[in-house]
Amino acid sequence: MDNKELISSVKSILARLHSFGVSREDVRNLLVLLFLLRWLRDEMSSFAEYNGESESLKLADRLNRLFSSDIRFREIDQHIDESLSLLRHSVKVEGLSELDFSSKYHLIKDKRVVIEALYWFNQWGGLRLDRRKDISQLFEILLQETRTPQTTQFSSSKLLSQLVVAIADPKSGETILDPCAGEGNFLIAAHNAIEAADTDFLSHTSFTGYDLSEDAILIAMVRFFLSGTFNFHLSRRSGLY
């Protein structure tokens, strides 16, 4: 997928959402939340059929309704609330159940903004995203285009993270810890390095991170989901004491 096409689609939806007077940071946090739910819609459809558990089936149904082309304004709150509630029990990831999603509800107050974003996500912005790599790239572009001075304090340089990982030389089976995980750049760089070196034993590697910002933690979680691993432990707290 051509990056120019991805960037153009992202800029188009951002311009549309900002036209409603929503702050850059709120748009960023809304899109991160909806991105997670949209990605889970595809993943849960097949998982729910295989798993067969009632909560997984309910979550898949709610997500399909949320991102349907005929969703109505009055249904948005219900589907998002039920999806987030079911998410805690259907996706077994440490730290996910601890996130305070109630702090996100102000993001869906303006239904005009939410429904525009839902329509865009429904078809992945009209893009042909057949590979996880393309979806991951779209997420990174969304983050880049919505970055603010405040959000940069939770995101270390990717090049710096890769340099630190190269020096640390993490091995499969080790526990990788970042006490100030932020948006997860260091942990993801460590994950990618281990995966490239030893794919057979990646599942034995545990990635742990802490941060005071739930917004940053959610971004790190989405990055891990997109990388294909669920063996991570991210929590909202300071890891420095």
Region 54-77: what's the mean pLDDT? 89
d(CA 141, CA 144): 5
170 and 115 in a common domain? no
Token pair belonging to 19: 């036209």
- Write the CATH number for 200: 3.40.50.150
| Confidence band of 203 (pLDDT split at 50, 70, 90) | low
Segment 25-43 shows an average pLDDT of: 93
Q: What is the mean pLDDT of residues 69-91?
A: 88
Element (H, E) at 176: strand 175-178
- Full domain range(s) for residue 91: 3-147
60 lies in the same domain as 113: yes
What's the whole-number mean pLDDT along residues 39-46?
80
Asked if pLDDT for residue 87 goes beyond 70, the answer is yes
What are 131-188's pLDDT values in tens digits?
Answer: 888 899 999 999 999 998 777 766 677 788 888 888 888 888 888 999 888 899 999 9
Note whether 171 and 187 are same-domain residues: yes
How many structural domains are present in the chain?
Answer: 2
pLDDT for res 202 = 55
The answer to whether residues 107 and 182 belong to one domain is no
Do residues 200 and 89 both lie within one domain?
no
Judge contact between 143 and 183, C-beta under 8 A.
yes
